[in-house]
Copies of this chain bind each other. A is one copy, B any other.
Amino acid sequence: MAILFHSGPSSAQRWRPLLAELLPQMEVRFLPDIGNPSDIEYAIVWQPPDGLLASLPNLKLVCSLAAGVDHILHDPTVPAHLPVARLVDPHMAEVIAEYVAVQVQFIHRNGLIYREQQHRRHWQEHRQPDAGARIVGLLGLGRLGRAAAERLRLLGFPLIGWSRTQKTIDGMECLSGEGGLDTVLRRSDILVCLLPLTAETVDILDQSAFERMKPGSALVNCARGAHVADDDLLAALDRDHLSGAVLDVFRTEPLPSEHPFWSHPKIVLTPHVAAYTNPGTAAQIITENIRRAEAGQPLLDLVDRAVGY
């Protein structure tokens, strides 16, 4: 009986002592040292290689090292009834809410404009509205979206939000359905994407979406790169319909060095750092789920494979 761990190489170093302490009775193996595949009952993973999970005959549970599970489920060989758990870590929600707040305020305070002016050595003040006059639209109202909403409300921004299923959040208008999406696109001054990546949300921010957005509005994407149709975004920026975009996630990561996003004057780019997994809190949450599986108790935060998150 063993656990298989797979993430970046420096992650293994940080997780090894945590897992040893929290699950002293379990053997933990680190890819590529799987040993006998039949021994593996649990997998704790970020971007497992295609086919890996299907090759483990006694796997009982897959624990994602990220809030999303698209990095696991895009592999069509993952068995249909294998339980997959998202990582739902309040610490991560705070970290991503902080990122959203920073970038929304950066845009609000004309940071994109002033960055471009600095590049040209150009000194020009721009009038700006107060935060109370900038409508922030949130796509995705799960735990991350809610944490972001709470922080943005504290900072004085009026909020409007959209999710697949109808949600209710104090102090903001929550919409759902195709008509609701249309409303959020049309009314937002700054649009923030925090959606899960599913068959329904891939390319949700395409030419049709950008056309419905307000002239001069801006986008923050810290969900997944595949939510955005790259060429459509570039076109919307280049014809000055959108004023800018802050992107943390990309279709291919690391973003290839020849990609036009790198040098676009209206794009601020960060290397997938909006959320970071904090081993200290995440290890507690993941090992609790493994402990439950061992004890035959109900598992936490399982993915509904029909909807994809």
B154 and A255 contacting across the interface, CB-CB below 8 Å: no
In the complex, chain B residues whose CB is within 8 Å of the CB of A257: 121
Known: A124-B271, A154-B154. A109 touches B118 (CB 8 A): no
Q: How far is the CB of A257 from chain B (nearest CB, A)?
A: 5
Known: A121-B257, A154-B154, A255-B123. A271 touches B102 (CB 8 A): no
B118 and A273 contacting across the interface, CB-CB below 8 Å: no
Known: A98-B131, A131-B98, A154-B154. A271 touches B123 (CB 8 A): yes
B154 and A114 contacting across the interface, CB-CB below 8 Å: no
Q: Copies per complex?
A: 2
Per-residue contact bits, chain A 104-128, to B (CB 8 Å; 1 contact, 0 not) = 0110111100110110010111111
| A273 to chain B: closest residue by CB | B125
Q: How far is the CA of A127 from the CA of B11 in the complex (A)?
A: 11
Q: How far is the CB of A212 from chain B (nearest CB, A)?
A: 28
Which one of A30-38, A169-177, A181-189, A261-269 contacts B? A261-269
Known: A124-B271, A273-B126. A111 touches B102 (CB 8 A): yes
Q: A165 at interface (Cβ–Cβ under 8 A)?
A: no
B268 and A118 contacting across the interface, CB-CB below 8 Å: yes
A263 touches which of B105, B121, B268 (Cβ 8 Å)? B121
Q: How far is the CA of A254 from the CA of B114 in the complex (A)?
A: 14
Interface residue range, chain A: 35 or more
Q: A55 at interface (Cβ–Cβ under 8 A)?
A: no
Q: How far is the CA of A276 from the CA of B106 in the complex (A)?
A: 16
In the complex, chain B residues whose CB is within 8 Å of the CB of A101: 105, 155
Q: A270 at interface (Cβ–Cβ under 8 A)?
A: yes
Q: A272 at interface (Cβ–Cβ under 8 A)?
A: yes
Q: A15 at interface (Cβ–Cβ under 8 A)?
A: no
| A253 to chain B: closest residue by CB | B123
A114 touches which of B94, B118, B128, B273 (Cβ 8 Å)? B273
Q: A99 at interface (Cβ–Cβ under 8 A)?
A: yes
In the complex, chain B residues whose CB is within 8 Å of the CB of A155: 98, 101
B109 and A98 contacting across the interface, CB-CB below 8 Å: yes
In the complex, chain B residues whose CB is within 8 Å of the CB of A263: 121
Which 10 pairs between the two chains have the least Cβ-Cβ distance? A123-B254, A102-B105, A121-B257, A121-B262, A123-B271, A114-B270, A118-B269, A102-B109, A125-B271, A125-B273
Given contacts A105-B105, A114-B271, A123-B253, 13 further A-B contacts (CB under 8 A): A91-B130, A94-B130, A95-B130, A98-B105, A98-B109, A102-B108, A109-B273, A114-B269, A117-B271, A118-B268, A124-B271, A125-B272, A125-B273
Can you list 22 A-B contacts with CB-CB less than 8 angstroms, sorted by A residue number? A94-B130, A95-B130, A98-B105, A98-B155, A101-B105, A101-B155, A102-B111, A105-B105, A109-B273, A114-B270, A114-B271, A118-B262, A121-B257, A121-B263, A123-B254, A124-B271, A125-B271, A125-B272, A126-B273, A128-B273, A128-B276, A154-B154
